[in-house]
A and B are shown apart, each in its own frame.
Chain A
């Protein structure tokens, strides 16, 4: 046994660790924005689209939710390659994560839609709002506000899951860690440090989402209660 731990050789590499952390955050942000948009669109498609669209959205959601992210990443990676598209590892990673989180977002937003009762919609119609206005003001906005906590937890989980993209050599935090540990032979210390960086990143994301929530939901800011 050899318990003389030496974190200094790992901490010396802080510039690469910082780079990796930034790439991880970048991946998370891209996938959150793009996947969030896809999720909202698919939730609308499932609720109000023609049967074919609704079915396609459902197949997408169930397909993604019932297969591992690792396999999805390889499928995107090799699928694009097989049709002759040679994209960078970063692009493939962002794409796969977007597709993945889009399905989870769909499911969460759909639950939000289901929580809007019929009376609310009738009240909007009774005021003369057009179907699109009812959708926006009475269904979508309150639904998003209601599921915002679940959505943001999902986005934090996505950031953590982005570590899997190290398997196609996206240069994010876990890939940096693999490189450092093979270089320093300090696997234990490296992964401890990296685990803590991930913990910090998730705290940063949660704080960020809290701030955004305060900014875009005035009701939440004033009352602090769930909708």
Chain B
């Protein structure tokens, strides 16, 4: 487990959301959301479906534009129209619920695509990198397999490796185990735990409460578009609000 950095270091947080508002039509999804993600720490966002937790995560990588407020990620001012989107996405890796490996490419080709196309890395070097990140997720032997030949868990680990190959400073995980059979979630969670131990800054939206409790330096509980409760993992054991108590109680 990475040590939670204290706010006293004076370092800017990796991710900062301040008073973020976002609506889809008349539906207010984010209603003044603020929280910090210190460098090298793990934040998990929990909450019922529709609470705005996935939207909050997607705003960090600018898959959604916010209506009001500020988001700063590794120095990138995400809320500004002048944002250099490419630079932001070089610093931020994102992994989705539905894996989204490119089906027409092998695992290796999936991994080397962005380093060679975006960073102009020579192919040989990118291949070497692919081997390394696949070893990190325990998938070396699937280098030349196509996504359809892999189980869901293997595909998701491949997607994590693909993201790691861009050497991001922050990684976002959007319910990455929700589409998996229960017996396959373990292998993916283990990979994420290892990343946390290596000191990667991460934000995870998850339904796995035991996992969220185990890995998080900070837990953000969202309810009706607001941060309803925020604190160390211990808040899950002793919720301060009735809503969180209920949420933890139902196990969802």
Contacts and interface: CB of A to CB of B under 8 A. Distances in A.
A and B touch in the complex (CB under 8 A): yes
Contacts of B159: 123
A222 B149 CA distance: 11
Contacts of B100: 119-120, 122-123
Given A128-B86, A223-B146, A223-B148, A120 B102 contact: yes
Nearest to B146: A219
A149 interface: no
Interface in B61-112: 61, 63, 86, 89-90, 92-94, 96, 98, 100-106
Nearest to B91: A128
A141 B105 CA distance: 10
Contacts of A130: 86, 118
B43 interface: no
A126 B89 contact: yes
Count class of interface residues, chain A: 20 to 34
A122 B102 contact: no
B96 A128 contact: no
A126 B61 contact: yes
B114 interface: yes
B114 A128 contact: yes
How many B residues touch the partner, as a band? 20 to 34
Contact of B103 (A133, A222, A227): A227
B152 to A, nearest CB: 14
Nearest to B86: A128
Contacts of A119: 96, 98, 100
A213 interface: no
Nearest to B114: A127
Contacts of B148: 223, 225
A119 B113 CA distance: 17
A81 to B, nearest CB: 46
18 contacts: A119-B96, A119-B100, A123-B102, A125-B63, A126-B96, A127-B93, A127-B166, A128-B89, A128-B114, A128-B118, A128-B166, A129-B114, A129-B117, A130-B118, A141-B104, A142-B104, A223-B146, A223-B149
Interface of A: 119-120, 122-130, 133, 137-138, 141-142, 145, 217, 219, 222-223, 225, 227
Given A122-B94, A223-B149, 6 more contacts: A123-B159, A128-B166, A129-B114, A141-B104, A142-B103, A217-B104
Interface of B: 61, 63, 86, 89-90, 92-94, 96, 98, 100-106, 113-114, 117-118, 146, 148-149, 159, 162-163, 166
